[in-house]
Structure 1
């Protein structure tokens, strides 16, 4: 996948994202932390809206062969770009909320958030990639499930209500994560397998690509709601 995306692009986008997030969380000023979170969110949201509102309708008017050719060039890049932006946005946002003091009683909520993300995402990955019988998937799923539920069990006694806007944000981010990592990412992996098969089927590539473009638009709409929630959290209203 990285070879098709251009190794420099794939490695660069992941490295820059990780370094930016690590710096913002550990050494960056509040303003720098905010910038990293907001900029990653803008790139994530903008790309999803572009996929759904512009690319989707354009691709819909092409033949399977034409749309497959587009996705063969586009998918390897979005497979690295979008998860990287999502990671920086989500992790940067959670740590920023804690830093600003608007996320009280965070640990029990983060434990629930982790379990609500990891378990459905891994189940969907296993189902959509036909990996439920794969020992590697079973090990990862078992470790993630036991670990996340153990964290929930050890923190549930301290559970208290947090800021309502934070609750809304966690719910929306969970929906985005499950949709993104449980549906979009497996679709991109399936497209890659089809692209690299001995006899690629343009119809399969086109169908998955169109579905992902539509889901990207849905992601973008959820992200617009999330942005409104963040504005409300920051300023107490509109």
Structure 2
């Protein structure tokens, strides 16, 4: 793949970035609780599903490939994930906070709300503090004329593994949300 072919800002990447955010804005400004719930569930579920796929499937597939093929896959995946995943994560988290506030369970006296906050903080640090900077590093490496394939593979594999570890925290947050909504 030639570095001139690598673009982050394509019509589909911009659409995948803006649609979740615009849906969240529409739900919040319109005070549409049902739609806000839908936005939260669909973005959170998609985020969890992608992390499951990356951690359980892509990690095994990529490990079985030679470094040149592995770097080619990572090079194609990075521009897609660079905008999409932060948009999903930020929208799911923000919608969840709005929902908890709207239904009156967002109180720091509730241990489940505190647990949810801790898990969300861990997910946010992993996503915005590890995965996103690595995606930017990979993208910058791809845009350079002479790419360091080893660096691309190392950073890409790190992101795949961190995505896989996020699944544990996402399962925990789903459990916490279920407890909060049932009122145990």
Q: Normalised by the shorter chain, which TM-score bucket?
A: over 0.9
CA contact 1:168–1:229 (8 Å) conserved in 2: yes
Q: How many residues align?
A: 181
Q: Which stretches in structure 2 are left out of the alignment for 5+ residues? A: none
1:78, 1:221 → 2: CA distance?
A: 20
TM-aligned CA deviation for residue 86 of structure 1: 0.4
TM-aligned CA deviation for residue 236 of structure 1: 2.6
Please report the TM-score for the alignment, with normalisation by the length of structure 1: 0.73
- 1:199 counterpart SS class: coil
Deviations along 1:17-38, one digit per CA (max 9) or x if unpaired, are 2210101112142211111101
Counterpart residue number, 1:23: 26
Aligned residue among 42, 46, 51 for 2:49: 46
Please report the TM-score for the alignment, with normalisation by the length of structure 2: 0.93
Cα RMSD between the aligned structures?
1.7
Aligned residue among 67, 73, 78 for 2:76: 73
Counterpart residue number, 1:236: 183
CA contact 1:49–1:221 (8 Å) conserved in 2: no
Q: What aligned pairs does 1:155-174 form with structure 2 within 5 A after superposition?
A: 161-174=108-121
Q: Which stretches in structure 1 are left out of the alignment for 5+ residues? A: 105-160
CA contact 1:49–1:220 (8 Å) conserved in 2: yes
Deviations along 1:104-129, one digit per CA (max 9) or x if unpaired, are 3xxxxxxxxxxxxxxxxxxxxxxxxx
Q: Over alpha carbons, which structure has the higher Rg?
A: 1
Counterpart residue number, 1:8: 11
CA contact 2:62–2:70 (8 Å) conserved in 1: yes
1:188, 1:15 → 2: CA distance?
A: 19
CA contact 1:5–1:73 (8 Å) conserved in 2: no
Counterpart residue number, 1:156: none
2:9, 2:63 → 1: CA distance?
A: 27
1:99, 1:162 → 2: CA distance?
A: 17
1:195, 1:31 → 2: CA distance?
A: 42
